[in-house]
Structure 1
Amino acid sequence: MSDRPMPAAPETHAEERAAPAHAAREPASQFALLRERRFAPFFWTQFLGAMNDNVFKIGFTSLVTYQAARFSGVDPKTVAFLISAIFIVPFVLFSATSGQVADKFDKATLTRWVKTFEIVVMLIGAAGFWLHSAPLLYACTFLMGVHSTVFGPVKYAYLPQRLAPEELVGGNGLVEMGTFVAILIGTIVGGVAAGIGANDAVSAGTPPGAWWLGGMCIAIALAGRVASAFVPPCEPSQPGLRINWNPFSETWRNLRLARGNRTVFLSLLGISWLWFVGATFLSSFFNFAKDVMSANADVVTVLLAMFSLGIGLGSLLCERLSRRRIEIGLVPLGSLGMSVFGIDLFFASHGLPRAPHLLSVGEFLGAAAHWRVLADLFLLAMFGGFYSVPLYALIQSRSAPSHRARIIAANNILNSLFMIVSSLMAMALTSAGVGIPGIFLTTALLNIVVAAYIYALVPEFLLRFIAWLLVHTVYRVRLVHTERIPAEGGAVLVCNHVSFVDAIVIMAESPRPIRFVMDHRIFRTPFFGWVFRHAKAIPIAPAHEDPKALAAAYEACAAALAEGDLVCIFPEGKLTRTGDMNPFRHGVSEILARASVPVIPMALRGLWGSAFSRHAASGQERPVRRGLTSRLTLAVGEPIPAADATLERLQQTVAELRGARR
């Protein structure tokens, strides 16, 4: 993207990834970003904002849950859900306007405006704590929602402008980790402060905890404003944009804009569903601790700590698991783990030891049954990190820079709607007599249904998941010059054909989606035909079987290349039966005759003799043994202009890339 200053040339990063292990220099850790001005002030600004949100919300929730007598007209059983709902109403009302503002103005300037506004809001909140005024605290909750609504599009549109593509997953991981560490710290500070003087008589006046809460909220807001002063200028994406101040028409326009890219829109829905799940669990913790586990407010801090540490660790692991790429194969893994541990949390919540008094942290941790609850919360959140980081990075990378902030605004609108529905569902289930464990089980089961629906609509997620599992469990893959696969624009990829999983391995290691040219018979099978049709694979048939299908395949390839897609063909036309390459057929020449694009030669080494190849009885290794233990290599050659891409040259180049190893 032309408006992003690059910290280093892309070729440098790619060569580091592709070089042999003994000669490669380790790429810089994602934590190195915390030492750079283009990222560090922004990181600490959003960190302090997230912490302040939670100092305020946890302090407010704790006071009204455990000191309800000090607040008139407040129902302690539903107030946590009500606070969450009030906080997210501004996302529905103002996200569309915020997205336009973030596209039109300098994001650093907007950040400073937002942090100044936060100081004013926290003065109102402090007054609410000191006066024990529920209306003032509800008003502050709403205004903090406004603060987060305006900052959201700025935050996620800033990252792709300031980070290189290979830094995007790591940067998003740090932001997600920082957000939940801030939630953890805010939870601890808010919960501890709210508990100061909690045992004093109600008539004793305002307890010290309320004074501490108000003072800390103001102090954190001031610190955030100082950090924002160091955020470097970040030019607007569309300075000439004319703002539509009608939130309803602009909300509809933003949602239509987001729907323009099907994968991006479904990724927005996926993230919104995560916020539905997260809001349900986080809003339930106080009542879960008090009513289900007979524990005091300090135990809520332990529950939130496990949740925050889990999602923070999951977010950081994404960079390592994805090899610094946007790996959407982690998304199904994340949703699977969320459901498994959400369901187990339901069963872990039954048969817990009961006590005649509210358990302290020490007493709570002394019961072995409680450790299963903590493990479930930690693992559920960790898989939530696997789920969220790739989706955020995918949205940022595939959204047009000119209206990226408005796409993020559409995301915030959807997030808020899902969170409101989450609060309404939890309140309805509570009113119907369903306990907190039942709410957890309902959410985990719904997660299975929603995940299945999204992956049915976009099989790319499932295919990448299968590919990711294959290359991270069965094989250890060495990459040689995969940076030669172009980051944008149409190109034809040609590769030797060794096994049934060649396409999956290439898909797993490509930074971009690929449209594979595949035998038409595959499309007749019920499951694989459905999957590959949705993955936009191109069916091809021999001329003697179906000449019309063959001509249609060539035209489909030309259309895909004209749209800037990558098209991969295996020119041999069939799997090798001996391990040696078959002669290349003229199909690739027919494609290039219709689209003059570069050809990227590739070679797979190490798949012959595996369980997935047509292993001949020639005295080689046993197929299963080799398939489960061998390393394989994907080597990519220099691009060849279409005019020079003769069959002889392509076959010779692929053979040289493969070398002696099959």
Structure 2
Amino acid sequence: MSRLITQRRFAPLFWTQALGALNDNLLRTLLLLVLVFAALPDDPARQGLATNLVVGLFILPFLLFSAWGGALADRVDKQRLIRRLKLFELGIMLLAAAVVWWESRLLLYGLLLLMGVQSALFGPVKYAILPQHLSPTELVRGNAWVGFGTFAAILAGTLLAGLVATLPPSAARPVAVLALVGVAVTGLAASLLIPPAPSSASEEVPRHPFSTTWAVLADSMRARQLLPAMLGISAFWFLGTCYLTLLPAWASQVAGGQASAFNLLLGAFALGVGAGAMLCARLSAGRLELGLVVLGALLMGSGGLWLAGASPLTLSAATWGELLLQLGFWRMLAALGLVGIGGGLYIVPLYTLIQMLSREQHRARMIAANNIFNALLMLAAALFGMLMLGVADVGLPIFVASLGGIALLIGLGLLVRGPRPLLRLLIFALVHLIYRLKFRGRHHIPARGAALVVCNHVSFMDALVIGGASPRPLRFLMDRPIYESPWLNWWFRIVGAIPVDADRRDPGSVRRALDEVSHALRHGEVVMLFPEGRLTPDGDIHRFRRGLDIILARDPVPVVPAGLAGLWGSWTSHQGGRALTKWPRRIRARVALYFGEPLSPQEARCAMLEVRVRELKAEADGWALPAPAARSEA
């Protein structure tokens, strides 16, 4: 995972976007301090109005310019577009340096608009370029690093602005100017190292920024696979905006530490999101793991309810040291950290889903549509906060509890609608605890479209290992006695396994199973077959049955061979007695699963596939069974 951040195809983009996010938050926080707290020190009502105006001026360009940014990113080289946007950012920061130096408040509001325009144009291209430089199995890691960099930059920018504000005016101005311009120059330098990313679209570049908004939104409404992900990401930004806007009030009214408490609480939330994003990459292991979305929503909800129940601290303007001696404050930090971790787990798979399912020619437009929805929900978050805390005056704990409740409802709704992703994740995590797993060649499974995966059949655990290893959900064609195993039948039903039995035992079973396989393939799914038709009785690969040829004759699709090693001798195999009738003798055994290059439907015949699977199994044996003594593992 750490190798990606050192490679030129990703590292310059990471630093470009992270430094841009740092400058965004540094400038916005400095402007808030100048426009709101310095200009209106003793007028809370006018402070609130000015704060909302500042937030609105930053969000408005996302509504007006995101669609144009997406259209530009789809139709020009993304590398060149990023460089031009970084030049635009440098110009804004030079102007900001002059404005901050002379404190021209009217121009400061204009700077907020310009900064919002640059961010709105940069948002689509930074996510749309990733699939051009990263493989499908690297996208989750790339998005995790982007999420980590973004929230670390939010924290760093806010803290740096607060540090500048504590300096004497004679020192604060030059430090602010040097920071703004220096970060912009460094970001521009990083953008010069980004590799080319040419466009595949043939349409002309739109010249009018506002003419594309409705067309982009209409396209997003027709993208039924993508719209739920966009709304899910927007729900995260709704909750995140609510948490970020209530933190100052929570710090002063509940935590009792004001600036010190705010910085620590913000740090817990931002670092939690970054840690959650990195944990998502770790748990996903190169797959698009939608079960993490459900888990993340449930963690966000639990963290919100835990925070809502925190008791106010009896402190006044406490320092960092005084706060960290309070057990109640540690509870607040842990709760906000849990909310952040849940957010990181929740949002990274959704961004990856949009990137993977979008057509390349319209990928940036879909991300732009997502940004428009995000901006709308961020405005809705501001209105929701005003309604709850201003009109209804429910108080901060109830407001936080409502945010936790919303997140829990999202998680429970997703779980009820489709439990398979979360259960698949939990089962695969359990398999990881039981075995030491090694996978190779998972990128050979097509990122989209129908395909068959064929593998040797060693044990009842095979389906769980292969299903967890696959970057995409799999449907399994399996022998009915295995399907009806009392230990695993519930799981096979949830994942949509397809049972098949001999016609002599169940007339019509083969025809029904083949019809179900055909239905799955014609809907673009990946189907997993064990061509031997039964568990191996001796650890060797047995003759492949002709059902595979029948399936390919009906639906000619690519076939990915796979070899599995290390499970022979386990309690779920037939070595030393019938499977599931023995006690496990050892855990953490080595298990290897190697995928080979896909074969065309014309090449994929039983004899050819059997040879290829034997070769892959022999290679996997070299890692799973390094010594003869290891062959008796359980």
- TM-score calculated relative to the size of structure 1: 0.79
- 1:369 equivalenced with 2:328 (yes/no): yes
Which residue of 1 is the match for residue 376 of structure 2?
A: 417
Contact 2:431–2:465, Cα closer than 8 Å, also in 1: yes
- 1:392 equivalenced with 2:351 (yes/no): yes
CA distance in 2, matches of 1:115, 1:651: 54
CA distance in 2, matches of 1:610, 1:256: 54
- 1:337 equivalenced with 2:299 (yes/no): yes
**Larger deviation, residues 266-275 vs 319-328:** 319-328
**Larger deviation, residues 141-150 vs 594-603:** 594-603
Which residue of 2 is the match for residue 451 of structure 1?
A: 411
Shift of 1:406: 0.6
Shift of 1:639: 5.2
Q: Assess, with a 3 A threshold, how the Cα gap between structure 1 residues 481 and 85 changes in structure 2: closer, same or farther.
A: same
Shift of 1:509: 0.6
- Counterpart residue identity of residue 31, structure 1: I
Alignment counterpart, residue 470 of structure 1, candidates 425, 430, 438: 430
Alignment counterpart, residue 5 of structure 2, candidates 3, 20, 31: 31
Deviations 1:260-304 (A, max 9, x none): 554433222222222222211112211111121122223322222
Which residue of 2 is the match for residue 238 of structure 1?
A: 201
CA distance in 2, matches of 1:39, 1:236: 18
CA distance in 1, matches of 2:43, 2:101: 15
CA distance in 1, matches of 2:84, 2:604: 56
Deviations 1:488-538 (A, max 9, x none): 6543223345555533321211123333336899999xxx99998996765
**SS of alignment partner, residue 353 of structure 1:** coil
Which residue of 1 is the match for residue 467 of structure 2?
A: 507
Shift of 1:637: 5.4
Deviations 1:203-254 (A, max 9, x none): xxx8975786567445544554454455444323324245384747x44543
Shift of 1:412: 0.7
**SS of alignment partner, residue 393 of structure 1:** helix
CA distance in 2, matches of 1:215, 1:74: 33
- 1:145 equivalenced with 2:124 (yes/no): no
Which residue of 2 is the match for residue 107 of structure 1?
A: 78
Identity of aligned residues (%): 39
Q: Assess, with a 3 A threshold, how the Cα gap between structure 1 residues 98 and 541 changes in structure 2: closer, same or farther.
A: farther
Q: Assess, with a 3 A threshold, how the Cα gap between structure 1 residues 272 and 89 changes in structure 2: closer, same or farther.
A: same
Query: Superposition pairs for residues 116-515 of structure 1, below 5 Å?
Result: 116-119=87-90, 121-122=92-93, 136-196=107-167, 213=176, 216-217=179-180, 220-241=183-204, 243=206, 245=208, 247=210, 250-258=212-220, 262-347=224-309, 349-350=310-311, 352-355=312-315, 357-431=316-390, 432-457=392-417, 459=419, 461-486=421-446, 490-497=450-457, 501-515=461-475
Query: Superposition pairs for residues 70-109 of structure 1, below 5 Å?
Result: 70=41, 74-76=45-47, 80=51, 83-109=54-80
**Larger deviation, residues 613-622 vs 312-321:** 613-622
**Larger deviation, residues 555-564 vs 103-112:** 555-564
**SS of alignment partner, residue 206 of structure 2:** coil
CA distance in 2, matches of 1:81, 1:502: 56
Shift of 1:475: 2.9
Alignment counterpart, residue 567 of structure 1, candidates 517, 527, 547: 527
**Larger deviation, residues 319-328 vs 619-628:** 619-628
Shift of 1:627: 7.9
Q: Assess, with a 3 A threshold, how the Cα gap between structure 1 residues 253 and 501 changes in structure 2: closer, same or farther.
A: farther
Shift of 1:550: 4.8
CA distance in 2, matches of 1:467, 1:264: 27
CA distance in 2, matches of 1:192, 1:644: 66
CA distance in 1, matches of 2:438, 2:271: 32
- Counterpart residue identity of residue 358, structure 1: A
**SS of alignment partner, residue 40 of structure 2:** helix
CA distance in 2, matches of 1:562, 1:166: 24
Contact 1:289–1:295, Cα closer than 8 Å, also in 2: yes
- 1:43 equivalenced with 2:14 (yes/no): yes
**Larger deviation, residues 413-422 vs 229-238:** 229-238
Deviations 1:386-432 (A, max 9, x none): 33233323322332211111111111112112222222111211111
Shift of 1:358: 1.7
CA distance in 1, matches of 2:423, 2:223: 19
CA distance in 1, matches of 2:586, 2:232: 35
**SS of alignment partner, residue 560 of structure 2:** strand
- Counterpart residue identity of residue 67, structure 2: A
Unaligned runs of 5+ in 2: 622-630
Aligned residues: 618
- Counterpart residue identity of residue 373, structure 1: M
Contact 2:459–2:574, Cα closer than 8 Å, also in 1: no
**SS of alignment partner, residue 393 of structure 2:** coil
**SS of alignment partner, residue 602 of structure 1:** strand
Contact 1:515–1:567, Cα closer than 8 Å, also in 2: yes
**SS of alignment partner, residue 494 of structure 1:** strand
CA distance in 2, matches of 1:362, 1:455: 42
- TM-score calculated relative to the size of structure 2: 0.82
- Counterpart residue identity of residue 466, structure 2: I
CA distance in 2, matches of 1:414, 1:175: 20
Shift of 1:638: 6.2
**Larger deviation, residues 157-166 vs 46-55:** 157-166
Contact 2:514–2:551, Cα closer than 8 Å, also in 1: yes
Contact 2:297–2:410, Cα closer than 8 Å, also in 1: no
**Larger deviation, residues 568-577 vs 330-339:** 568-577
**Larger deviation, residues 408-417 vs 493-502:** 493-502
Contact 1:609–1:623, Cα closer than 8 Å, also in 2: no
**SS of alignment partner, residue 256 of structure 2:** coil
- Counterpart residue identity of residue 323, structure 1: A
Shift of 1:183: 1.3
Shift of 1:443: 1.2
